[in-house]
Amino acid sequence: MKMACEVPVIDMQDFPSQSEKLVGACEDWGCFRLINHTIPATLMSEMKSVVRSLLDLPLEIKQRNRDAIAGSGYVAPSAINPLYEALGLYDVGSVEAVHAFCTQLDASPLQRSKSENDRHTAEARNELVNFRLIFSVEELFSCSIFSFANNLKASNGETIVRYSQAVHELALDICGNLAASMGLKSDLFDEWPCQLRINKYNFTPEMVGSPGVQIHTDGGFLTILQEDENVGGLEVMDKKSSEFIPINPLPGTLLVNLGDIATAWSNGRFYSLQHRVQCKEAKIRVSIALFVLGPKEAAVEAPAELVDSEHPRLYVPITFEDYRKLRLSTGLRAGEALALLHATNS
């Protein structure tokens, strides 16, 4: 049995001291475990419960989560990944996009302050007391279930809003630290759109040993993953040995990995991590991924500071959208599409 992998650990509260280690992790591993980050543990576990309830919604509601860009909405189980389904939120930095996502899934947060919320709860309680004089027990029960369900939906929405803000801010901080660690301006990535994806794996006994998600790299710049804290299965390719190594979840921490756009942007310095999810046990597995994609319209190209006579420009500039289409049309999802961008090919 292969040993679980010890990826570099980056302490988010220890910058700039961790700068060199961060760049080394991006070059040698294409991933790192993030500790002392800014997403509260309570919010992480609340979001996990919300994710479970969203993915348990009836199919016709999940299908309302349509693509904003190709592949950003609901992903149904397919022939290639029959155990996997996902919901997606493109542009997590946009308040409107987050609210639209909540509305699609019947989880709109109430637009109320805490004192208003408390007042509404007290009023609802009084109403129930008065109703008791008029309605039967069954009627009362269905009425309170109804308001309970509505409050639950609203509180799901509030969790989604808070989590989206927190993970987006964290993404900007990580990217800012990375840019500063390379001697570049820390706001370079501030306008790059980010996509949230919530994943569910319906692992069944007969699937143990088979893939839950096939080998792939992420197409964008960087991914922040909140793993399932109980069910493992994530495996990453070790750059040195080219072997897949299991990653054990570590509750409270996050796993960050780099994608193809990071390799292109860094002029080949950063390693785009090949990874997959294996079914290890017959349980439901849930994870949350935040993808920093690429610039909205501009082409991705290595900053001049990363190019010189010893490090000539390796890749032709390309927009994130064109690169995404290239991966789709060629079916090259495990980093091979980068070879098609080699400057020598043009």
Q: State yes or no: cis peptide before 249, omega within 30 of 0.
A: no
Interface with ligand AKG: number of residues (CB under 6 A): 11
Closer CB to ligand AKG, 266 or 287, in the complex:
287
Distance from the first to the final alpha carbon of the chain: 44
Contacts of ligand AKG in 246-275 (CB under 6 A): 275
Closer CB to ligand AKG, 227 or 260, in the complex:
227
By CB under 6 A, tell whether 224 contacts ligand AKG: no
- In angstroms, what is the minimal distance from the CB of 218 to ligand AKG? 5
Write out the two tokens for 333. 């999802």
- In angstroms, what is the minimal distance from the CB of 232 to ligand AKG? 9
By CB under 6 A, tell whether 227 contacts ligand AKG: yes
Nearest-5° angle of CA 19, CA 307, CA 266?
A: 50
Element (DSSP H or E) covering residue 202: strand 194-202
SS3 23: helix
Applying CB under 6 A, among 194, 277, 318, 337 the residue interacting with ligand AKG is: 277
Measured CA to CA in angstroms, residue 90 lies from 60, 67, 105, 109, 239 at distances of 20, 8, 14, 18, 30
Applying CB under 6 A, among 33, 197, 200, 327 the residue interacting with ligand AKG is: 197
Cα 118 off chain centre by = 33
By CB under 6 A, tell whether 287 contacts ligand AKG: yes
Of all residues in the shown chain, the one whose CB is closest to ligand AKG is 287
- In angstroms, what is the minimal distance from the CB of 217 to ligand AKG? 9
Closer CB to ligand AKG, 222 or 289, in the complex:
289
Measured CA to CA in angstroms, residue 111 lies from 95, 105, 114 at distances of 13, 17, 10
- In angstroms, what is the minimal distance from the CB of 142 to ligand AKG? 38
Closer CB to ligand AKG, 227 or 238, in the complex:
227
Write out the two tokens for 67. 């693509």
By CB under 6 A, tell whether 213 contacts ligand AKG: yes
By CB under 6 A, tell whether 22 contacts ligand AKG: no
- Whether residue 232 contacts residue 247, with contact meaning beta carbons closer than 8 Å, is answered with yes
- In angstroms, what is the minimal distance from the CB of 338 to ligand AKG? 17
SS3 72: coil
By CB under 6 A, tell whether 200 contacts ligand AKG: no
- Whether residue 143 contacts residue 134, with contact meaning beta carbons closer than 8 Å, is answered with no
- Whether residue 153 contacts residue 105, with contact meaning beta carbons closer than 8 Å, is answered with no
Applying CB under 6 A, among 199, 253, 263, 266 the residue interacting with ligand AKG is: 199
SS3 285: strand
Q: Under the rule (CB under 6 A), what is the footprint of ligand AKG?
A: 197, 199, 213, 218, 225, 227, 234, 275, 277, 287, 289
